[in-house]
Each structure stands twice: as C-alpha cells, then as structure tokens.
C-alpha cells in the first residue's frame, strides 16, 4: 500500500507504507475453521526489533501479555512481567504509530489458536527457527493448541510418548529427540552428553545396565545439582545403584540465565527405601 502524492495534479504515488506481507497460516480452507481469534489491545511499547522501523510489527510476531496492563507486547522468554508466557500471534502487519508519528496502543485481532508456519514466525523480530528460545516457544504453542507445519504432531515441542534404546557407551543427545525417554543398555559405563543448551528441551534418561552412568553438559558449568548451581556433570558411581537409575533433565531460565535442571526420579529397586543415592558431581 502506498500513499498518494503529487498534489496540484502531479501524478505519482508516495513511499511504500507496507513493510511486509506474509501468510503465516497453512492448510486449505477446511483447516481455517480451526482458527480462533480474539480482539486485543497491543501496547504502544511493543517493538519488532528485526524491522525498520521497529514500531511496525510484522505478521508472525509471537506476543506475550504484560500482567500489570493486560496489553500485548513481544514475547520475551526470560522476562518476569508476564510476557514470558505466550498470549497469541499477530497475523497481520500492525503499525504502532498514529498519523502524527506518535506510538499509540492499538486494538487488533490476536490469533490464539490455529495452524501456523514455523518459518514465518518471529521471536522479538528474529526468525523463529534457529532462535535460542525456539523449543520453549514450540512447547508453549503446541500446549496452547497451535499446529506448526514442520512438526504437526508436536515432537519437536517434546510432546508425545517417544522411546529409544541406546546400546553404545556414548550418546550425544539432539534437539530432534526432545521429549524422548531413552534407555541405555550397555553393560559398560555409559556417558551421555546433553545438546547445546536451549530453553524448552526435556529428556527422560533411564539406565538399564549395571555400570557407571554419566550425564554431562556440553558447555559445562550450567547444571543445577545438590550444593552446586554450575556443575559440569553428574555420575552414578556406586555398584547396585546403576541399573534402573532414572533422571529427568530439562532446560529452564533461572532469571535470565539458562540452566539444565536434573531431577532424580527414582533409585533402583535394589537400593533400600529411604537410603541416599551416591551421585558424584563434577564442577
């Protein structure tokens, strides 16, 4: 869309007023019946950091809701003002300035459920796919009822019961395995390395062999364990406490810092009830 120019009969048009046009929905007409919109108030403070000007929000912006005002601003995974929770997706371009060039609150529709194209989404103005917070966003979106075209069953979001067995002695986890329960069956010591740290990743790790079990961070110094907020790894070291050992580990924001949070789900049945499981921690 462009403005008219050339007053007093001079032909022509003015500068382009549309920054982008992007279809974020996928599927045929029948899939559009699954769309759910609500009328919402977008805050004058909302920004699209990847756009010029930043006051023009492009289609695909993932939005959060500021608790104190009830208004929408860009989703921010490590915020604490309410925008850390996804509240919807803007599916049209929205200019936050009025005719005088002043930013102002805007009333516009907000897509709160439906089939969306992952590569058309934006996190604070940056591409969704490959973003540091992509997997946390996927988890929240799928839980809210969105269906992403590149992951229609929600596996990348960690949804669904998926199981795998690893027979080797070393395994480096991947983001594609997000949400999986993985059994480690080697009779020798097993070392598991976590993927590059990203919020929203989650794994359930089970030892089915009777030897040492090591779970390590790829970067180091970012695991929260007993008496250590920046550990490198945890290790089941004691005979009789290997087989059946189970650890759920997920990546979360602690303030604005990403951390791996391991949870020891159960000790092997051979371990006495109420006894202490011996776990070695490397800092």
The per-residue pLDDT for range 41-82, each reduced to its tens digit, is 999 999 999 999 999 999 999 999 999 999 999 999 999 999
The lowest-confidence range among 136-150, 207-221, 239-253, 255-269 is: 255-269
82 and 198, same domain (yes or no): no
The CATH number covering residue 49 comes to: 2.40.300.10
Phi first, then psi: give them for residue 171, nearest 5 degrees.
-150, 125
- Give the per-residue pLDDT at 56: 96
Which of 148, 174, 209 is at the close of a domain? 148
Phi first, then psi: give them for residue 99, nearest 5 degrees.
-65, -20
From CA 42, how far away is CA 64, in angstroms rounded?
Answer: 10
Question: Is residue 54 situated within a structural domain?
Answer: yes
Number of domains in the chain: 2
Helix (H) or strand (E) holding 236: strand 233-236
Question: Is residue 157 situated within a structural domain?
Answer: no
For the chain, the average pLDDT equals: 88
- The answer on pLDDT for 261 being more than 60 is yes
Which of 98, 117, 148 is at the close of a domain? 148
- Give the per-residue pLDDT at 7: 47
From CA 159, how far away is CA 177, in angstroms rounded?
Answer: 11
Which letter does DSSP use for residue 271 in this model?
A: S
139 and 56, same domain (yes or no): yes
- The answer on pLDDT for 275 being more than 90 is no
Q: CA-CA distances (angstroms) from residue 113 to 91, 141, 229?
A: 11, 8, 37
Q: Which residue has the higher pLDDT, 260 or 14?
A: 260
Band of pLDDT at residue 267, cut at 50, 70 and 90: low
Q: What is the largest CA-CA distance in the chain?
A: 93
Residues 152-156, mean pLDDT to the nearest whole number: 94
The CATH number covering residue 188 comes to: 2.60.120
- Give the per-residue pLDDT at 160: 83
Residues 8-28, mean pLDDT to the nearest whole number: 65
From CA 207, how far away is CA 166, in angstroms rounded?
Answer: 10
Question: Is residue 23 situated within a structural domain?
Answer: yes
140 and 37, same domain (yes or no): yes
184-216 per-residue burial string, b: 16 or more CB within 10 A, e: under 16: bebeebbbbebbebbbbbbbbbbbbbebbbbbb
- Give the per-residue pLDDT at 20: 60
> Would you call 26 helix, strand, or coil by DSSP?
coil
CB 83 within 8 A of CB 76: yes
From CA 123, how far away is CA 223, in angstroms rounded?
Answer: 26
Question: Is residue 176 situated within a structural domain?
Answer: yes
From CA 185, how far away is CA 206, in angstroms rounded?
Answer: 9
Containing domain of residue 136, as a range? 2-148
Question: Is residue 156 situated within a structural domain?
Answer: no
């Amino acid at each position: 869309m462009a403005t008219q120019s050339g007053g007093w009969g001079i032909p022509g048009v003015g500068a382009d007023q549309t920054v982008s046009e992007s279809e974020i929905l996928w599927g045929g007409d029948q899939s559009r019946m699954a769309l759910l919109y609500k009328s919402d108030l977008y805050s004058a403070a909302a920004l699209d950091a990847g756009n010029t000007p930043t006051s023009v929000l492009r289609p695909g912006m993932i939005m959060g809701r500021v608790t104190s005002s009830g208004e929408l601003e860009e989703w921010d995974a490590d915020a604490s003002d309410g925008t850390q929770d996804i509240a919807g997706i803007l599916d049209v371009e929205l200019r936050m300035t009025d005719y005088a060039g002043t930013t102002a609150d805007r009333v516009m529709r907000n897509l709160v459920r439906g089939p969306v194209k992952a590569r058309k989404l934006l996190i604070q103005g940056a591409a969704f796919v490959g973003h540091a917070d992509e997997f946390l966003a996927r988890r929240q979106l799928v839980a809210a009822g969105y269906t992403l075209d590149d992951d229609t069953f929600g596996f990348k979001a960690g949804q669904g019961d998926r199981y795998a067995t690893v027979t080797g002695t070393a395994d480096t986890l991947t983001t594609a395995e997000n949400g999986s329960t993985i059994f480690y069956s080697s009779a020798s010591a097993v070392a598991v390395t976590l993927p590059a740290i990203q919020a929203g990743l989650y794994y359930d790790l089970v030892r089915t062999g009777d030897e040492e079990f090591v779970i390590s961070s790829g970067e180091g110094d970012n695991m929260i364990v007993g008496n250590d907020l920046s550990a490198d790894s945890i290790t089941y070291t004691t005979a009789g406490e290997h087989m059946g050992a189970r650890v759920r580990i997920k990546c979360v924001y602690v303030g604005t810092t990403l951390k791996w949070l391991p949870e020891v789900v159960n000790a092997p049945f051979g371990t006495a009830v109420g006894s202490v499981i011996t776990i070695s921690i490397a800092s």
